[in-house]
Structure 1
Amino acid sequence: MLSTEQLINDCVLFQSVTPDEMEELLSTSESEEFSEGTRILDEGNSTRYLWIIQSGSCEVRKKLSNGNEQALVELGPLSIFGEMSFFKPAPHSASVVALTDVETVRIPGRDFDQMLKNGAQGAQKVVFNTVRIMSDRLRMMDEWTADMVESCGSRSKNAEWHDFRSKLYSEWQF
């Protein structure tokens, strides 16, 4: 299990969080262990936790229209997951499955909301850092999607991609 100092120094989520702020954040956290093969989150279900992997590895999986699941990414120690449903309550957009035995720390949404309401600096830093993490993930997804569209070589697919991007950044209300 990682120490508080390791979380502060090595986890992007806690960048610039002080030891006192970290103590406040972890005061409401819950530790949980999962055996290899355990489904930690199920796509379509709703829970409001921000998860940090302390040891082990997990795989994020997305359901396909044919009923199968597609592996999206493998997450290791100091990775986070659950952030989309944590900050905007909604069903999980993917499942997370333990590839090995996994130790996690999770922060409950209701407690975090209260910290934000009380003006806790550590909670505000976590929000800022999560935005950075999600921005990096979106940037990588944009590059990957653009490469996929370009590799198709189809003018209609290219036009669909540009239409989608245009709507994503200008028309859709969240």
Structure 2
Amino acid sequence: MAIWKVGLSCVASVKNGCMVIIDRKRIATMVEYRKTTPDDANSCVKILRHWIDETNWMPMLHSEPSMQQFWRGRLDQTAGWVAIENRRVVGFCIRDGGDITALYLDPSARRKGVGKELLDLAREDLDEVSLWVFAANTKALAFYTREGFVEVFRSDGDNEEGLPDIKLSWKR
């Protein structure tokens, strides 16, 4: 199993990884990245359910057990990566062929470069990647735009959630 470690330093601009500053002293943390396994399903579902709970527009359509069963199967059939900090999964990214189907972070991992690192791992061996993002998810839209994704299609909400979404594409 391959594990990537990203050491972090306390500087004004961190391009990869994350940093923590307490009392203006440098505290280094380590985020590890590895391929997903079906055993990661519970952690991924916990992150996803937390994200759904904190949005005021995303419906909770499935029970936790059904989500765990679904993700256990997905993690066994697709390419995926998890970010681990202090032996805890803090983010995950799933890719099915050239489509990124999920990228979610625990709140503790946001705005620290973890999402970018997961995205970079997912697209490192591809020349083109696409994904769908809900139109209401303005933070994700801003993130993907910064990463070079462009809008290629808008839906009227003809999906399981009944919410308008946007197809984005990235080319090397």
Structure exhibiting the larger radius of gyration computed from Cα positions: 1
TM-score by length of 2: 0.27
Larger helix fraction of residues: 1
Larger strand fraction of residues: 2
